[in-house]
Structure 1
Amino acid sequence: MRVSQDEKVQTVITTYEVTPGTYLDLLEELRNSFEEFIRKQDGFIAGAVHTNDAQTRIANYTQWQSREQFLNVLRSDEMRRMNRKFSDLSKGFEPVLYEVHASFEAG
């Protein structure tokens, strides 16, 4: 995955607040959703899942070819079903759409 302000893609960062008791369950659900559904959807470019050491936060970062393609997936029956599971396993989560305004590489 390459982050660049030159590319016209839709970036979505979703954060989840969890407990150490639900952390692994939500992580497994997220992995399954990427493997079985999200990565196969029109417009999906790439995604990554991040966790903190305390096992109280999970974030995922996805890139889509367009805002419309992301919203179509978000509104699909399958994604709505998955989001209900994510909600059950977390204290709360929020997908937020972003634009990249600056990126930096080593050197």
Structure 2
Amino acid sequence: MLEIAPDRDVQTVITTFEVTPGTCDDLLDELREAVANHIRHQRGFVAAALHVNDARTRVANYSQWRTREDFMAMLRGPDMRARHRRLHDLCRGFEPVMYEIADTFSK
């Protein structure tokens, strides 16, 4: 379950993709397929969420992993290396960045 809280023992990865409105849906389809059929089955995967801005020029993938090593092992696997080549064809670039949750706020 995706839960954002500083006391959770997870690593957070936010990956942003620069796209055009014409390639946004194609990228989302590729990401949905990757998460549903491969990424969510990898060791250490906790949860993921896809976000798209209203101009359809940016897509963000928020994911949580048990450890940094689990995330890096998924990225380095042969399946993901092939998927990264397809993702590069659909966007101007993307960058996964690992974060620690510093704090949360709610109403």
TM-score bracket for this pair, using the shorter chain length? over 0.9
**Counterparts of 2:29 and 2:18, CA distance in 1:** 15
| Partner residue, 1:81 | 82
Describe how 1:14-93 pairs up with structure 2 within 5 A: 14-93=15-94
Instruction: Report the identity percentage.
Output: 53
TM (normalized to structure 2)?
0.96
**Counterparts of 2:54 and 2:69, CA distance in 1:** 34
For structure 2, the residue ranges without an aligned partner over 5 or more in a row are none
TM (normalized to structure 1)?
0.96
Aligned length: 106
The one-letter amino acid of 2:6's match is Q
**Counterparts of 1:10 and 1:79, CA distance in 2:** 19
Q: Write the deviation string for residues 27-51 of structure 1: whole angstroms up to 9, x where unpaired.
A: 1000000111001111000000000
Aligned Cα root-mean-square deviation (Å) = 0.7
The one-letter amino acid of 1:33's match is A
For structure 1, the residue ranges without an aligned partner over 5 or more in a row are none
| Partner residue, 1:8 | 9
**Counterparts of 1:41 and 1:104, CA distance in 2:** 30
**How far did 1:83 drift?**
1.0
| Partner residue, 2:96 | 95
